[in-house]
Amino acid sequence: MNAIEAVSVTTMLDAKGGDAVETEVVTTSGYGRCSFPAPRDATKSAREEIGTLIGRDANQQADIDDALQDVFALPSISMVFSVAIANAAAASLEMPLYRYLGGLFANAMPCPLLNIFAAAADYLVVPVGASSFSAGIASSVSIYREFSKLNMPRGVSDADVLSRLTSIVQAVGDNFGFDIKLGVDFASTQYTPRYYNEAQSGGVNRNWLRHVFDLVDRYDLYYVQIPFIEADQSYLAQLRDTLHTRCLVACSSPRDNTLADAKEQNAGEGVDVALIAPTKTISNVFRLFTDAQGHALSCVMLTHNSTTCEISPSHLAVALSTPFIKLGVKGSENTSKINELLRIEQELYEGSNSRMVKKPS
């Protein structure tokens, strides 16, 4: 039995200067740590509950995760404990987290959806032809550096951004020798009137749907994340029926970006991609992924709710063999996850030794 012997909870800052919580777990033969954004007052309540974890077997992840959700109402708090305990269990077996969670067949790297520019929307590059994660990142970063030289204003139109990105992507793709596509996350607009016509009884502006169709056609978009306040089945169906042979359509729930919410709003039939955020517990993330597979959906591992330098989303993406992971270019919270994926890829394909965190002596 790998019993939990000690747990500590610390208030800290995330990469954007917001509040975060860090948990450290010491077990009979392992040590684990994790940090996620959380309100400052949540740290105090978390400390009051750590006694319920002492003595539990860290290797019984599913049982612990069920208990965590019963104890902690805040998803980020239950997640930080879940990951810290899993890290300790993995360390006790002298294996990295992705191997502990995914097993021997966890050996596929995700394709990065890398945010190059944020204005009215998030504009993404997708290195679909890259033979490795490292090549995909190298090409995407090259595009980012070239695009940054343009000093595009925030108020620029979709067409201006995508037309300039298209020429850069073509040149970089030719240089690297593989196809690179574009994507747009319209949900980043926070549903401004530009995309949502409240005058139409709360309905989506039909001109906006035509605008999306036009962008896909003109710029050969590979990925579209739609900007509906509510996942309206009829509009999703139109998007899916029109675009599914040309690009991936993702549904973003306005609440917590889970497949369960999308299904609750009857959106499941209108999308190709489920957005999986690392939230609640590791077991919850695995259930969402399995559910998505059961509905023949691809998956994108999101990282927007992990604004610390926490690297567990990278391990979860590999453990689940998630096809895509959504990241940004700038910010320590993004580079930490990218760099960890580069290390994992090196371990998987170049035979380097796994890096283990040992229990303090």
Q: Taking Cα atoms as reference points, which of 139, 142, 107, 109 lies closest to residue 126? A: 139
Q: Do the domain assignments include residue 105?
A: no
- Work out how many domains the chain is built from and give that number: 2
Q: Do the domain assignments include residue 191?
A: yes
Question: Are 36 and 167 within one domain?
Answer: no
Q: Do the domain assignments include residue 361?
A: no
Burial grade of 146 (CB within 10 A; 0-12, 13-18, 19 or more)? middle
Query: What long-range pairs does 61-64 form, CB within 8 A, spacing at least 24?
Result: 61/85, 61/86, 61/89, 61/282, 61/283, 62/283
Choose one of 93, 120, 137: the last residue of a domain: 93
Question: Are 68 and 115 within one domain?
Answer: no
69-124 residue pLDDT tens: 999 989 999 999 999 999 999 999 999 999 999 998 899 999 999 999 998 789 99
Question: Are 156 and 226 within one domain?
Answer: yes
Q: Do the domain assignments include residue 212?
A: yes
Question: Are 46 and 186 within one domain?
Answer: no
Q: Are strands 273-276 and 298-301 parallel, antiparallel or unpaired?
A: parallel
Task: Kindly state the helix (H) or strand (E) to which residue 298 belongs, with its residue range.
Answer: strand 298-301
Question: Are 47 and 192 within one domain?
Answer: no
Question: Are 116 and 170 within one domain?
Answer: yes
- Domain assignment of residue 54, given as a range: 4-93
State how far the Cα of 163 lies from the Cα of 172, in Å rounded to an integer: 15
- CATH number of the domain encompassing residue 339: 3.20.20.120
Question: Are 128 and 221 within one domain?
Answer: yes
Q: Do the domain assignments include residue 12?
A: yes
Question: Are 155 and 27 within one domain?
Answer: no
Question: Are 268 and 301 within one domain?
Answer: yes
Q: Do the domain assignments include residue 254?
A: yes
Question: Are 81 and 123 within one domain?
Answer: no
Question: Are 86 and 123 within one domain?
Answer: no
Question: Are 201 and 338 within one domain?
Answer: yes
Q: Do the domain assignments include residue 337?
A: yes
- CATH number of the domain encompassing residue 20: 3.30.390.10
Choose one of 93, 124, 149: the last residue of a domain: 93
Q: What is the pTM of this model?
A: 0.89
| pLDDT tens digits in sequence order for the chain, 361 residues long | 899 999 999 999 999 999 999 999 999 999 999 999 999 888 888 899 899 999 999 999 999 999 999 999 899 999 999 999 999 999 999 999 999 999 988 999 999 999 999 987 899 999 999 999 999 999 999 999 999 999 998 788 999 999 999 999 999 999 999 999 999 998 755 545 455 554 454 555 667 778 888 999 999 999 998 755 554 556 667 777 787 778 898 875 433 444 444 444 434 455 688 899 999 999 999 999 999 888 888 999 999 889 999 999 999 999 999 999 999 998 999 999 999 999 999 999 876 554 444 444 4
